[in-house]
């Protein structure tokens, strides 16, 4: 298998996983948690005494996957993934949250893109962490404000998403080392 073929296959896998995180996040909010409100969000503990909607886990993963899509398939696919992700987010969100979900996703992923792009060639792990942290903060603030007019659950949202970014670091480091060993350059 050529390096270009490998890059394209891996990019396609990262893109598919990225797109799947969005409906999965919406499903988790209503079905996965240690406490679920009737017709409301299911919450999970993200730190002792700190709860967040369960879907935050998938949003943290989505931010990392968008970076990996761009690394494998290029800037054009990275931008297309953001636009497709916002459309998917708006399409699968509960009716009351369509605007908040779509706008938060679009703004946070483009912020992730803006931070990741200049850093990625020199410092992949730092680029993924920095861009994801910026993206998850923007996603949390915009979503909570547009959906509820309140930032009451901001800390839980940020912590929950941050856990997933931090858990992805060993994979990103492994990917970077393997790329260097194979001579596989970013798209």
- Summarised one tens digit per residue, pLDDT across range 7-44 is 999 999 999 999 999 889 888 988 899 998 887 789 99
Residue range 115-133: average pLDDT?
Answer: 93
State percent of the chain over pLDDT 70: 100
- In the chain, where are the structural domains located? 3-181
What tens digit of pLDDT does each residue of 85-96 get? 888 888 887 777
Is the model more confident about 60 or about 37?
A: 60
Nearest to 107 by CA among 131, 70, 152, 142: 142
Q: What's the fold here for domain 3-181?
A: Arp2/3 complex 21 kDa subunit ARPC3 (1.10.1760)
What tens digit of pLDDT does each residue of 100-111 get? 888 998 899 899
β-pairing, 42-47 vs 50-53, is antiparallel
What does the mean pLDDT of the chain come to? 91
Nearest to 155 by CA among 166, 140, 145, 142: 140
Quote the strand ranges of 8-146, DSSP E: 35-36, 42-47, 50-53
Q: pTM for the whole thing? A: 0.90
Residue range 111-133: average pLDDT?
Answer: 93
Judge whether 73 and 15 are in contact, CB under 8 Å: yes
Residue range 38-66: average pLDDT?
Answer: 91
Confidence of residue 135 (pLDDT cuts 50, 70, 90): very high
* Rounded Cα gap, residues 158 and 55, in angstroms: 12
Q: Which residues contact 147 (CB under 8 A, 6 or more apart)?
A: 96, 97, 100, 101
């Amino acid at each position: 298998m050529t390096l270009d073929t490998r890059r394209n296959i891996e990019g396609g896998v990262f893109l598919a996983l990225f797109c799947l995180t969005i409906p999965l996040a919406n499903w988790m909010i209503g079905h996965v948690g240690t406490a679920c409100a009737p017709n409301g969000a299911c919450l999970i503990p993200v730190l002792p005494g700190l709860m967040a909607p369960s879907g935050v886990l998938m949003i943290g993963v989505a931010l990392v996957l968008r970076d990996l899509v761009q690394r494998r398939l290029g800037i054009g696919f990275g931008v297309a993934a953001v636009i497709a992700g916002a459309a998917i987010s708006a399409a699968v969100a509960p009716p009351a949250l369509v605007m908040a979900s779509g706008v938060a996703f679009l703004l946070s992923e483009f912020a992730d893109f803006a931070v990741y792009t200049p850093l990625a060639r020199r410092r992949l792990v730092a680029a993924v962490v920095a861009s994801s942290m910026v993206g998850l903060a923007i996603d949390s603030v915009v979503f909570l404000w547009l959906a509820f007019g309140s930032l009451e659950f901001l800390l839980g949202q940020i912590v929950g998403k941050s856990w997933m970014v931090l858990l992805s670091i060993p994979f990103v480091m492994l990917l970077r080392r393997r790329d260097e060993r194979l001579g596989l350059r970013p798209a």
